[in-house]
Amino acid sequence: MKAFDRRALLALLVGAAIAGSGCDVQTMAYFLMPEAREDAILKHLASDDPKKDPRVVILTYTNGLETRAEFIQADRCLADQLADQLKKLADTDQQKLTVLPQRKVETYKNTHPNWKEMDLHQIGRALGADYVIYLEITSLSLYEKNSFNQFLRGRAEITASVAEVAKPDEEPKSNTVTVLYPSEARGGVSAFDSNPVEFRQKFLKQVAKELSYQFSRYPKRDSQFMDGPSPF
């Protein structure tokens, strides 16, 4: 079922429920209003032109992370999660966006060991992409500081950049994204009562969700959870 049809059906169901409960017209209008959305922080990548289907490549690089078991392929997992989030946001806006499968990106990186020194526009052209997202992961941890690994709390600091392949003379736009999961208000999660593997998955999903706001419109209600420096 198309997104429009789902919203229409939801509107009818909500309307019937509100009418049955005796709510007034203003209350009904509140529930039926489209959800307010914020613009992408760096650059909106999806297109509402039916003739265009932007292709996106996600590159990841880990810089100086600890060599711990929980970090194995964390960058690839994060890229997959970000691809899922971007496609979901594009579908919500009824827009088109294709993210190149991460296995193809990893193959390119393996066959080009000097890729880190290459220009993002050059990599994008080689992979047939319209945009290149580059994530440099400078900090990543799963345990609360000074808790002797007794409490789980994810922390990440990532520099996110995006380059438009068709504009080789334009510098990539960048922003540093910091994520704390769970929040300060909730505190850490006991490592004895939680599965670290499941926690890692949920944490990376939250990181990918916040990263996706750099490249897509997102629900305005989520803007209150965004922090960190402004893009430059």
> Could you tell me if residue 134 is left (phi over 0), alpha (psi between -120 and 50 degrees) or otherwise beta?
beta
Nearest alpha-carbon partner for 89 in 218, 198, 190, 228:
218
**DSSP conformation class of 2:** -
Provide the residue ranges of all domains of the chain, joining segments of one domain with +.
Answer: 1-34, 37-225
| pLDDT exceeds 70 at position 87 | yes
For 55, list phi and psi in degrees, rounded to 5.
-105, 130
And the tokens for 12?
């009818």
What's the CATH fold of domain 37-225? Answer: Rossmann fold (3.40.50)
**DSSP SS3 for 208:** helix
Pair 130, 164: CB distance under 8 Å:
yes
Confidence of residue 195 (pLDDT cuts 50, 70, 90): confident
Mean pLDDT over 205-219 rounds to 95
Contacts of 180 (CB under 8 A, 6+ apart): 153, 154, 155
pLDDT digit string, tens, across residues 34-48: 578 799 999 999 999
d(CA 107, CA 81): 19
Mean pLDDT over 67-88 rounds to 89
As a whole number, the mean pLDDT across the chain is 84
pTM to 2 decimals? 0.80
Q: What is the pLDDT of residue 149?
A: 79
d(CA 142, CA 4): 39
| pLDDT exceeds 90 at position 15 | no
For 122, list phi and psi in degrees, rounded to 5.
-65, -45
| pLDDT exceeds 90 at position 26 | no
For 18, list phi and psi in degrees, rounded to 5.
-65, -40
And the tokens for 171?
């510098």
Confidence of residue 1 (pLDDT cuts 50, 70, 90): very low
